[in-house]
Amino acid sequence: MRERSFRVRSLGSAKPAVPAAEELGDWIRRHAGTAADLTTWEVEETLRSQGSEVWFPAAGGIWYRDRILAAFPNVSEQRISGEFDLHAADISADCMIAAGIRKGCWWAVPSPQALHLTDGYFADEDTASEAVTDAVTRVCRVMRDTGATGHVLVYDGVPDAVDQEHFSGKRFLRYVPDAFLEIVLEVQRDLILSADAVPRLAELSDCYTIRQVYVTGPTTEALAEVCRLFDPDNVFCAGTAPEVEQEEYWKNLAELRVHIRNV
């Protein structure tokens, strides 16, 4: 009986569990004399776990927030205290390392909303939001200049109006909670949604133009349902690797199959 497989798209990873110091010995020796730190190890570890079965790899994750915030000297404890400047040497180094590990590597990074910054300087919500969004845009530009193919912008709340005006084009993919799918479809034709939200897809496709569908936490039942609405070539398994056993996680996604008779 014929079966249908699906390409896998990475939406980043959770921060991996850090091994004991002695287990990091070889890695530390390889990076002797460089500015590599624990975040460098996390970038490498999460990306190396994404084997050839991951068609669209992505370094980073929501945890990469700490590296980004460290690049803003005007931000302390997530509070804005002045005009945004950008010290991006560590971010650029991460991107060059990732590009050396895997060609065509995307990056999953927190969206402006997911940075959860509070304003202690601009005294105007819209101005502050514009400044944060512009700063993240500059971060993404630096990352593309040093090897990033594109960005998965990860949200843990609703995208604001200023954000919706930025990050256009094929180099950005918004990943929002299921509650905000309609908002993201106002500006994006590719949709990331959970298997639990698949029953909403028929209604969404009646109201919006959807090109490709990325299903997180996919099940064979959910994938079959999506394939009844969309060309299977435009349906993907997607996810964020957990803290442990990341390599096994990606392999399990790639092994999902749907019987053709169920489509």
Q: Which of 90-99, 113-122, 164-173, 188-197 is the least confident region?
A: 164-173
Q: Taking the complete model, does pTM exceed 0.75, yes or no?
A: yes
Q: Which residue has the tokens 């971060």?
A: 139
- Whether the per-residue pLDDT at 16 is higher than 80: the answer is yes
- Whether the per-residue pLDDT at 238 is higher than 90: the answer is yes
pLDDT band at 1; cut points 50, 70, 90: low
Beta bridge partners of 108: 60, 152
Distance CA 29, CA 80 (A): 37
User: Average pLDDT, stretch 221-226?
Assistant: 96
User: Average pLDDT, stretch 176-199?
Assistant: 96
Question: What is the pairing mode between strands 3-4 and 258-259?
Answer: antiparallel
- Whether the per-residue pLDDT at 216 is higher than 60: the answer is yes
pLDDT band at 226; cut points 50, 70, 90: very high
| Most confidently modeled range among 31-45, 60-74, 164-178 | 60-74
Residues 132-143 have pLDDT tens digits of 999 999 999 999
- Whether the per-residue pLDDT at 166 is higher than 90: the answer is no
Q: Say what the pLDDT of residue 34 is.
A: 77
| Greatest CA separation for the chain | 64
Pull the structure tokens for residue 259: 């019987």
Q: Which residue has the tokens 């609703």?
A: 158
Q: Where are the domains of the chain?
A: 3-262
User: Average pLDDT, stretch 182-194?
Assistant: 96
Q: Say what the pLDDT of residue 27 is.
A: 80
- Whether the per-residue pLDDT at 262 is higher than 80: the answer is no
pLDDT band at 251; cut points 50, 70, 90: very high
Residues 120-131 have pLDDT tens digits of 999 999 999 999
Residues 51-110 have pLDDT tens digits of 999 999 999 999 999 999 999 999 999 999 999 999 999 999 999 999 999 999 999 999
Mean pLDDT of the chain: 94
Topology of the domain comprising 3-262: TIM Barrel (3.20.20)
